[in-house]
Amino acid sequence: MENNSIVKIGILGCANIAQRSIIPEIIKLNKLFELIGIASRDITKATNCADKFNTKPFLDYQSLIDDPEIQAVYIPLPNSLHAEWINKALDKGLHVLVEKSLACNYNEVNQLNKKAEEKKLTLMENFQFRFHSQLAEIKKMVDDGVIEELRTIRSSFGFPPFPDDDNIRYNKNLGGGALLDAGAYPLKISRIFMGSDIEVASASLKYDPEKEVDIWGGATIKQINGDLFSQVAFGFDHYYQCNLELWGSKGKISTNRIFTAPPGYEPTILLETSQGTKEIKLPADNHFEKMLIHFQKTILHPEIAIKEYSQNNLQAKLIEQLKNKANE
């Protein structure tokens, strides 16, 4: 692709996150993307969703990825369908943005990464919070030494039960469970602050015997050749939490809505030191927009896309390790 190319993108599925947060931003970024169409296996859903966004409906996923206009796809399907449709999209030479978790196990992720790398295609797992100014400011504070040596990371993401028992997150066959959903976030942020030389030291998962999926859990992540560690917790049966705490030798940084800040939300970072407590208020930011800008850059610049492969693999490895440790 030429550096000034507009990426022609299609959407596999009509998931809430696609309609609420991703497709509207794709349309706004009309100098970077052109929305070609939306696919669903449900004719009514495909038609209604396409009409809503003034684009073309595709009545099955295959017909969308077969369309010669399409250069990239966004996949917000249930986890169990990710590997199949990522694989088919890559075989068609399409760049892929996929909702977390990228696939249901490490072997699938590793194989998909290898294929994407061989074909020089982007394969990017959507953790939009990576691009929020809230996280950037916290990273700068740590790098600037405002709490001196970082010793411990704590992060939680959990929410009350879903009102409908038919929710895909409760469906074992669709790759449901808290770990592949809510649990992916605190694991990701642990890697951001700890680097790649990490492993799961201990873990726990609580399963619902009727739904046959994990509904809450936690883990301790440690550096293999260092002293820093992270404590993570997540779940579907909780009082709402979405936070990050960084405890250093001379202070502590904490914040809320670290993973899910909506575009109009103005984050607050709390800095505690021996000098007292300081609130740092930040302007609102749009991490969905920034994430899509980054995705487009990875397509135009393959050297940026390469970094996504290792991130994908490490994330999948941590999930697999957590699962194994919990089942020991």
Q: Which residues are known to be catalytic? A: 100
Q: What is the dihedral of CA 187, 119, 89, 185, to 10 degrees?
A: 10
Contacts of 213 by beta carbon, 8 Å cutoff, 6+ apart: 169, 170, 171, 172, 176, 177, 178, 207
How, if at all, do strands 72-75 and 95-99 pair? Answer: parallel
Q: What is the DSSP annotation of 148-165? A: SSEEEEEEEEE-PPPS-T
- Label the pairing between strands 251-256 and 241-248: antiparallel
Structure tokens at 98: 């996929």
The CA distance from 172 to 214, in Å, is 9
Among candidates 160, 148, 141, which has minimal Cα distance to 278? 141
Task: Kindly report whether the peptide bond that precedes residue 230 is cis, defined as omega within 30 degrees of 0.
Answer: no
Which residue in the block uniquely carries the two structure tokens 């990710």? 82
Give the integer Cα–Cα distance in Å for 236 and 186: 14
How long is the chain?
328
CA angle at 105 for the pair 102 and 106, rounded to the nearest 5°: 90
Q: What DSSP character marks residue 127?
A: -
Q: Which helix (H) or strand (E) holds 254?
A: strand 251-256
Asked if residues 201 and 173 have their Cβ atoms less than 8 Å apart, the reply is: no
Taking the alpha carbons at both ends of the chain, their separation in whole angstroms is 48
Report the distance separating Cα 211 and Cα 172, nearest Å.
7
